[in-house]
Amino acid sequence: MKHSILAAAGLGRSLTALLVLLPLLLATAGLSQAAENAQVGAPAEGGKQAGAPAPGGGQVGAQSEHQLYKAPGAASPASKEQVNIYRTEDGLITGRVSIPDPKLAVLVQPAGRDWREFRTLILRIVGGVFIVGTVLALAAFLLFKGRVRIRGGRSGRTVPRFNALERGNHWLTATSFIVLAISGLVVTFGRPLLLPLIGHESLTILSQAAKYGHNFFSVPFVIGIAVMFLLWAWDNLPERADWAWIKTAGGLLGGDEAHHPEVGRFNAGQKMLFWFIILGGAALSVSGYLLMAPFAVTGIGGMQIFHIAHALIGAVLITGIIAHIYIGSVGMEGAFSAMGSGRVDENWAYEHHGRWYEEMRDRGLVSSGDGRGTTGRLPAE
């Protein structure tokens, strides 16, 4: 009985001591973890050091670096040569690689999260608003304003507008751009819009085809843009007469909608569209080919910037081309034949490009209804 009492008393003292020491042990463990975390986030010996050398003669980066992790088995935690993970000033977390390619040492790039948010959210919102908004605006304009008609009616006589080379290059560029636009939209909007409709397997096949089509048709698009510049740059230089067209937006904001005597071969709106396509197409081509040759001239951050620029320029170009297609088809009577047959009705030429029409008439290039040349007469008012 006596031994039982003594054993119980000893057990009670042990439990009491454990209850007293347990908070102290937990506090000590917490302080140790905090100290370890502080050591991980603190700069290595010597503070910040730029361009830590990587095996193979390369450098992890030109930014200053902070010690994050001590290699297992290292003799001293303060030795920079025994640290294999770093945090640079721009937030990159880099390591050491055994090949001479420093960008492969990047383990974490915080800016990549911003790029991913742009690609999966912002780009889809901005692109959707631009494209859908343009279509709705043009539909509303057609509904309330109606189609731009030839005021004098069709005369039956035609004027040569574009030759075979100009029309062929136009359709080469247009076809290439349509393929580029559709394939780009599949890559951008395929997952949220098409995946629920066609499933994973079909979307995979479609996305792969879009990728190859996007890369292949970039070549004729670039060629078309270059030839277009050589053919039409001179006729699209700004001139003082363009201001009269701009003040009335080609007659949409008032003025004489039936006749623009000051307009040459291209009006101010067409000139703005021309330079918009030339400059935008050039920027789209440069950024696109830099994406097709990754890391040729820049690192990961630069590639992300090129992708953002390429996507936004593409969205803006698509909206401009949609407006161009509308005006050249259903929006304006008689406009499509310029790129269809290469000839336009005499009344259309007189109303929309008065000065150019007079030049063509003086050269005897206005054709009669049976195809014989004629000096032409002014269309009915």
Those residues with Cβ within 8 angstroms of residue 173's Cβ, 6 or more apart along the chain or in another chain: 220, 221, 224, 225, 228
Amino acid identity, position 243: W
Both structure tokens of 126: 């901005």
- For the stretch 254-261, contacts whose Cβ atoms lie closer than 8 Å and that sit 24 or more positions apart, written own/partner, are 257/151, 258/151, 258/152, 258/351, 258/381, 259/350, 259/351, 259/354, 260/351, 260/352, 260/353, 260/354, 261/354, 261/355
Both structure tokens of 172: 């080469």
Closest Cα partner for 115 from 303, 368, 328, 356?
303
% of the chain beyond a pLDDT of 70: 66
What's the confidence (pLDDT) of residue 4?
A: 46
DSSP label of 233: T
By the 8 A CB rule, do 240 and 248 touch? no
Domains and CATH numbers, the chain: 44-108 (no CATH), 111-374 (1.20.950.20)
What's the confidence (pLDDT) of residue 93?
A: 63
Can you tell me which residue has the tokens 């170009």?
A: 317
Between CA 70 and CA 68 the distance in angstroms is 7
Low-confidence residues of the chain: pLDDT under 50: 1-9, 11-12, 14-64, 67, 69-83, 370-377, 379-381
Rg of the chain over Cα atoms, rounded to whole angstroms, equals 35
Residues found in the chain: 381
pTM for the model = 0.71
DSSP of 77-143: TT-GGGEEEEEETTS-EEE--SSS-GGGGEEE-THHHHHHHIIIIIHHHHHHHHHHHHHHHHHHHHH
